[in-house]
Amino acid sequence: MRLRLCLALLLALATGAAAQPAGDSAVHPELWPQLAPVPPRDPAIEQRIDALLARMTLEEQVGQTIQADIATVSPEDLLRYPLGSILNGGDSAPGRARLAAPADWLKLADAYYEANRRRAGTSVPLLWGIDAVHGQNKIVGATLFPHNIGLGAARNPELIRRIGAATALEVRVTGQDWAFAPTLAVVRNDRWGRSYEGYSEDPDIVAAYAGAMVEGLQGAPGTPDFLGPARVLATAKHFIGDGGTLDGIDQGDNRASEAELIRLHLPGYIAALNAGVQTVMASYSSWQGRKMHGNAALLTGVLKQRLGFEGLLIGDWDGHAQVPGCGPADCPAAMLAGIDIYMAPEQWRALYDTLLAQVRSGAIPQARLDDAVRRILRVKLRAGLFEAPRPSQRPYAGRYGLLGSPEHRALARQAARESLVLLKNDGALLPLAADSRVLVTGAGADDISRQSGGWTLGWQGNLGTNADFPHAQSIFAGLSEALAAGGGVARFSPDGRFTDRPDVAVVVFGEAPYAEMKGDLPDLSYSARHSEDLALLRRLAEQGIPVVAVFLSGRPLWTTPEINTSRAFVAAWLPGSEGGAVADLLVRAPDGAVRHDFRGRLSFSWPRRPDQPVNRGDAAEPLFPYGYGLSYAEGREMGLLPGE
């Protein structure tokens, strides 16, 4: 082991990484908690690994360490290249059809499986990983759970466990084995375009949820259900410190001290590891100027040795290419640092040749390759893949009724309901009487793609019309249903104009979908970028119509002018397929009873100013602190907020 770390160091020196500051990037594994591996090793599995390793050719071993994207690897390619896994990136789909039918996904899974088996040599089953980050969100008709930021507000780990289990089943339907979730980012600056992928700005909620989500996806370790047929592999990502980059820049530099890294960014991983998470994904980001994909001290010294992680460590999408001296097809430094699988979506062929040469030349010691392959085989054996039939023959495969099933949708609706946070409710405007005449307007009111955010059907979201979401309901449709049941009416008006004067207006507006770096912001001002929404709110308010604002967003944003223009203001985050959850909270039962009270409490501080990254415990005062959220039971008048 010492030899390996030395090699990595030499390599870093040779590639110029040492030109970066070294002093404060020193890692002291003894400061990190020591964890026992979960589950413990099974001698029978380790023996099978030994036997397999002894049989496998160098080519077969190297192939295990490469993951290609389905957009560039065909089933036929597997007849020749002994790759260990595939993924579909956010925009990759069978036949390049973004709205491919669920059956096409399963058919493709079978095609890869068959080709992989037909290749001569040692038969090692393939893994297929997918970004099932808020449900099986790439698949038409799947249940779309609220994005993690909303789940954080729900403060309900048991709910998270059930969401994990439902997601696992829906992933199984279309034939994948592995969810690239949960994201355990602790988001310290909401300018980050991935803020919504995180549960909270604070490690408490992330730690409380990480184990629940991992167990929901994988099953509980030590039970027969662990990695059983109803479960999939989970991924704790992105190790470590992805949510703490300077200025919230995606893939940027985290400058936290080692102690802060441990205090803020580690707790979620401890919980995930104790729950038996079998895969971890390295972060694109740097720590103290050094790319995580090349950081042997953190990936090997801390994660694998100190934290006892015995599963497989995967790189992010060409993440290795960002290590100094590396490119997409050439990066021994990443494997030397501890990466077991290169996510090499496009240049996997060239990488395969390079890696073969590097092991032959000794640039990558055989022992490191053995260790990587051992980990990959361990995960595959634990997951029962060697015994599993072709994907379509496995339990749950092809049971398309599970995608967006009534049970899963009810769970998603509960989750959405629990995630909404009531920021303001002056004059107890909410909940609305069921016989109200309601004007519904705003860009998010009748748009399921928009209420679902990024990582929905495609990488950036923003895809499909409401008809492309067969098991979903828009917020307007939900309001309409609830009001119709009570003798009221919801009228949708895209521009907010009306002929019959409404009793109240519900304006649904907010951020359009984005993912990763495309969502990075220079500051937190919503108002400055979306004057059209404020104008709409003002137009209604000036006509004396009470306004309920429902704000869709991937993070808290500076919205003081919008809050001041509205009588009630709801932070709805990205609720997903169940727009009806909004009506559950906003509209009374026909008999006047409150159907559901608000339970959501902020898991992110709400900014007082556009230039304010502010977190729980900071000296600076947010507009609404972490934990804030009104309820009908405990209302409160807000009046005009200062600072517009």
Residues catalogued as catalytic: 316, 516
Contacts of 467 (CB under 8 A, 6+ apart): none
316 binds ligand BGC (CB under 6 A): yes
Q: How far is the CB of 234 from ligand BGC (least distance, A)?
A: 12
Q: How far is the CB of 213 from ligand BGC (least distance, A)?
A: 15
Judged by CB under 6 A, the stretch of 87-95, 107-115, 262-270, 501-509 that binds ligand BGC is 87-95
User: What residue type is 271 in one-letter code?
Assistant: A
89 binds ligand BGC (CB under 6 A): yes
Pick 456 or 605: Cβ nearer ligand BGC: 456
Q: How many other C-beta atoms are found inside a 10 Å radius of the C-beta of residue 612? A: 19
DSSP 8-state code for residue 291:
E
The three-state DSSP-derived secondary structure of 568-623 is EEEEEECCCCECHHHHHHHECCCCCCCCCCCCCCCCCCECCCCCCCCCCCCCCCCC
**Which of the residues 122 through 181 are near ligand BGC (CB under 6 A)?**
131, 180
How many chain residues are in contact with ligand BGC, going by CB under 6 A?
11
Selected binder of ligand BGC within 237, 291, 380, 588 (CB under 6 A): 237
User: Considering only CA atoms, which of 204, 192, 172, 167 is closest in space to residue 182?
Assistant: 167
Judged by CB under 6 A, the stretch of 83-91, 214-222, 268-276, 492-500 that binds ligand BGC is 83-91
196 binds ligand BGC (CB under 6 A): no
Q: How far is the CB of 457 from ligand BGC (least distance, A)?
A: 12
Selected binder of ligand BGC within 90, 102, 150, 502 (CB under 6 A): 90
317 binds ligand BGC (CB under 6 A): yes
Pick 181 or 583: Cβ nearer ligand BGC: 181
Pick 77 or 91: Cβ nearer ligand BGC: 91
User: What residue type is 98 in one-letter code?
Assistant: R
Pick 317 or 526: Cβ nearer ligand BGC: 317
Pick 195 or 605: Cβ nearer ligand BGC: 195
DSSP strand pairing (66-69 vs 342-343): parallel
Instruction: Look at residue 388 and give its three-state secondary structure.
Output: coil
77 binds ligand BGC (CB under 6 A): no
91 binds ligand BGC (CB under 6 A): yes
Pick 237 or 413: Cβ nearer ligand BGC: 237
Using CA atoms, how far apart are residues 539 and 535, in angstroms rounded to an integer?
6
Which residues are registered as beta bridge partners of 287?
254, 290
What does each C-alpha distance from 48 to 376, 378, 380 come to in angstroms? Answer: 13, 9, 11
Contacts of 509 (CB under 8 A, 6+ apart): 442, 443, 444, 530, 533, 536, 549, 550, 551, 552
Q: How far is the CB of 303 from ligand BGC (least distance, A)?
A: 17
DSSP 8-state code for residue 245:
B
**Which of the residues 493 through 552 are near ligand BGC (CB under 6 A)?**
516
Q: How far is the CB of 105 from ligand BGC (least distance, A)?
A: 15
Angle at 122 between CA 116 and CA 124, to 5 degrees: 50
Which backbone phi and psi does 31 adopt, to 5 degrees? -80, -15
DSSP 8-state code for residue 197:
G
Judged by CB under 6 A, the stretch of 82-90, 135-143, 261-269, 405-413 that binds ligand BGC is 82-90
469 binds ligand BGC (CB under 6 A): no
Pick 87 or 280: Cβ nearer ligand BGC: 87
User: Could you tell me the two tokens for 125?
Assistant: 């089953």
The strand ranges marked E within 279-332 are 279-282, 286-287, 290-291, 312-314
Which backbone phi and psi does 639 adopt, to 5 degrees? 65, -160
Q: How far is the CB of 479 from ligand BGC (least distance, A)?
A: 34
**Which of the residues 436 through 465 are near ligand BGC (CB under 6 A)?**
459
**Under the rule (CB under 6 A), what is the footprint of ligand BGC?**
87, 89-91, 131, 180, 237, 316-317, 459, 516
